[in-house]
Amino acid sequence: MRAVTDARRGYPDLHEHLEALKQQGLLLTIDRPIDKDAELHPLVRWQYVGGIEEHERKAFLFTNVIDGRGRKYKFPVVVGALAANRQVYSIGMRAPVEQIQAKWDHAIANPIPPRIVEKAPCQEVVIEGAALQGEGKGLDSLPIPISTPGFDSAPTLTATNVITRDPETGVQNHGTYRAGLKAPDRLVVRMATRLGGAGGYRHYLKHQQRGDKTMPCAIVLGCPPCVAFMGPQKLPLDVDEIGVAGGLAGDPINVVRARTVDLLIPAEAEIVIEGLIDTEYLEPEGPFGESHGHVALEEFNMPMRVTAITHRRNAIVASYISQVTPSESSAMKRVAYEPLFLAHLRSTLGIRGVKRVTLHERMTALRRVVLITVEKGTPRTEIWRALYGATSFKADCGKICIAINEDIDPDNSDAIFWALSFRMNPAKDLQVLPYRSLGHGPEREQEDVYEQEEDSTLLMDATMKQELPPLALPKQEYMERAKKVWEELGLPRLRPQSPWFGTPLGGDWLPQWDEAAKRAVEGRYLESGRISEKLRRKGLKPETRFRPDETD
């Protein structure tokens, strides 16, 4: 493919994306000095652990970054720019949340090959040779935050698109792998976590088998959202992600040849770190707070010698909030994975009663607990088909699968416990299945356990088996009326948690009881007393059931 001088594009770069977030009130710009080593990530973390609602989370742009010694950096740092919440992700995808999965499906089925350009913004500044050596130069000149201060051993690249190429097929892979800084011209990459090996790791193994001493690699920090989404999406292996990115954009992605390695890189990238990964020697890396929510301890991973750093003149360093969920990385996966599960159960398996699939996010990293919302009255056989289908869909997801009805909020753990307590008979509604991989979690940090042991699967049917009375909360109209009074009184701001009102819909409830309840709130309960007096009976035990529709 020949390079062209025309670098037009039909997609926003990171700067334009941030401007779109700003226009929507989704970008906070922090101009005061912020210590990247001790303050930056903890500050953003508060919006995930401080009781802030998901829709209130924002992207943070830090324009005055310093390190633990007070050293000032020229580059700003942005965190949360891709998926601080669903709306941020939606803006990056340029599609409403409910259409995102369809857009992914279309892009994967209809990739658009990239356009190679001669000149690119990502190479406006080129740093090579001696300029990579010494404190304050090379990697040490970049304001890379410490993700988990107090545990992480080094600043670590997180919001990465790590580009490698299959030495046999020539297909490139974009993977989001962490990389710990070791020297101004050296870092260590971890890319072996995915079951069966991530795409980049498979390329590494092929280079080893060929006898190659090194593997070319380019690490992209910050790029157009349609390209950045490729790394964490976990597309099928051997798919050329840059073509899928073009499918998302509806236009070819501009790429340029790297300066020192034979790879094609996104032309509108912010910063590109080029280098060679050693296929012979490994180097200790970590500890580092991992996306499964625990600290990954030191282990041997792949050292990379940096051969060049290129960047835009006005480059922005991108970083992810990951570690304990909810986080930016889990929000990105959740928006993409949930429709994927739903399509599998409803379209592939044909289970029409499935209404929604929810991957539990807080603390469980999306992978462990799957909630399947099924329509009331769905046959028991279909409920169990849905449970089996969900737990087997992805190897690292669905260790615990729970079927619930539509009146249960899958994001409310209290509601889930309530369903388990009153709608599940452990003797009939619970199954344990053996032979499950441990998957991505703290257990894999113990190599012997990871190699020798297996996990298991827990399936639970917590759906209604019979009609039940309404939940004992005031009806919505009365709760809303009281809410207005609350606000008029200037009481603390309310954050309604579902369920916050009761509804008779779909439950065991009669119109006669509705009428009696209406009389009660209108102060006419004495009328109900006169009605019940006429229905007195002899010879019954206390607590004998009475239904006004069965008075005959």
Instruction: Read off the pLDDT of residues 538-549 as tens digits, 9 standing for 90 and up.
Output: 999 998 989 888
**Confidence grade of residue 447 (pLDDT, cut at 50, 70, 90):** low
Could you report the per-residue pLDDT of 78-115, keeping only the tens digit for each?
Answer: 999 998 888 999 999 999 988 888 898 899 889 999 99
Q: Clarify whether residues 514 and 451 are in a common domain.
A: no
Report the alpha-carbon distance of residue 222 to residue 268 in Å, rounded: 9
CATH code of residue 47: 2.30.110.10
* pLDDT per residue as tens digits for the range 227-255: 998 877 767 667 788 999 999 999 999 99
Q: Return the number of other C-beta atoms located less than 10 Å from residue 296's C-beta.
A: 21
**Both 377 and 510 in a single domain?**
no
User: Is 90 exceeded by the pLDDT of residue 305?
Assistant: yes
The three-state secondary structure class of 416 is: helix
| Domains in the chain, number | 3
Task: Decide if 129 is inside a domain.
Answer: yes
pLDDT at 470: 82
Kindly state whether residue 6 falls inside one of the protein's structural domains: no
- Residue 337 falls inside a structural domain: no
Predicted confidence (pLDDT) at residue 72 exceeds the cutoff of 90: yes
The shares of helix, strand and coil residues in the chain, as percent rounded to the nearest 5, are: 30, 25, 45
**Quick one: average pLDDT of 475-488?**
91
Pick 328 or 247 by higher pLDDT. 247
Point out the domain boundary residue: 426, 461, 496: 461
Same domain, 396 and 482: no
* Domain boundary pick from 268, 303, 319: 319
What proportion of the chain, given as a percentage, has pLDDT over 70? 94
What would the mean pLDDT of 66-85 be, rounded to a whole number?
94
Residue predicted with more confidence, 68 or 443:
68
Residue 327 lies in a domain: no
In a shared domain, residues 292 and 354:
no
What's the rounded mean pLDDT across residues 478-492?
Answer: 91
Quick one: which of 163, 24, 89 has its CA closest to 330?
89
| Pair of tokens at residue 244 | 């899928």
pLDDT in tens, 372-426: 999 988 999 999 999 999 999 888 888 999 999 998 999 888 899 999 999 999 9
- Mind giving me the DSSP string for 190-257? E---STT--HHHHHHHHHHHHT-SEEEEEEEES--HHHHTTGGG-PPTT--HHHHHHHHHTSPPEEEE
| Residue 147 pLDDT exceeds 60 | yes
CB of 78 closer than 8 Å to CB of 316:
yes
**pLDDT computed for residue 366 by the predictor:** 72
Pick 551 or 409 by higher pLDDT.
409
Direct distance between the N- and C-terminal alpha carbons of the chain, in angstroms, rounded to an integer: 85
- pLDDT at residue 295, as a whole number: 80
User: Mind listing the pLDDT tens digit for each residue in 160-219?
Assistant: 999 999 999 999 999 888 999 999 999 999 987 655 567 889 999 999 999 999 999 999
Confidence at residue 495, expressed as pLDDT on a 0 to 100 scale = 84
Last residue of a domain, one of 300, 319, 338: 319
pLDDT at residue 450, rounded to an integer: 45
Predicted local distance difference test score (pLDDT) of residue 497: 79
- Is 260 inside any structural domain? yes
Q: Are residues 278 and 355 in the same domain?
A: no
**Residue 41 sits in the same domain as residue 121:** yes
CATH number at residue 402: 3.40.1670.10
pLDDT for residue 280 is more than 50: yes
Q: Is residue 332 part of a domain?
A: no
Where residue 465 falls (left for φ over 0; alpha for ψ -120 to 50; beta otherwise) is alpha
In angstroms, rounded to a whole number, what is the distance separating the alpha carbons of residues 519 and 527? 8
Structure tokens at 47: 């919006």
Question: Residue 21: what pLDDT?
Answer: 97
pLDDT class of 7 with cuts at 50, 70, 90? low
Same domain for 74 and 177? yes
Q: Is the pLDDT of residue 41 over 60?
A: yes
- pTM, to two decimals: 0.83
> For the chain, what is the mean pLDDT?
89
**Confidence band for 435, pLDDT divided at 50, 70 and 90:** confident
Which pLDDT does position 437 carry in this prediction?
75
Domain range for 522 is 476-550
**Residue 286 pLDDT grade (very low, low, confident, very high; cuts 50, 70, 90):** confident
- Residues whose CB is less than 8 angstroms from the CB of residue 344 and which lie 6 or more positions away in sequence, other chains included: 389, 390, 393
Residue 330 placed within a domain: no
Same domain as 102, residue 29? yes
Do 227 and 110 lie in one domain? The reply is yes
Q: Could you give the CA distance from residue 418 to residue 260 in angstroms, rounded to a whole number?
A: 59
Residues 298 and 381 in one domain: no
- 173 in the same domain as 84: yes
More confident residue, 390 or 443: 390
Residue 198 lies in a domain: yes
Rounded to whole angstroms, the Cα distance separating 276 from 213 reads 9
Both 495 and 451 in one domain: the answer is: no
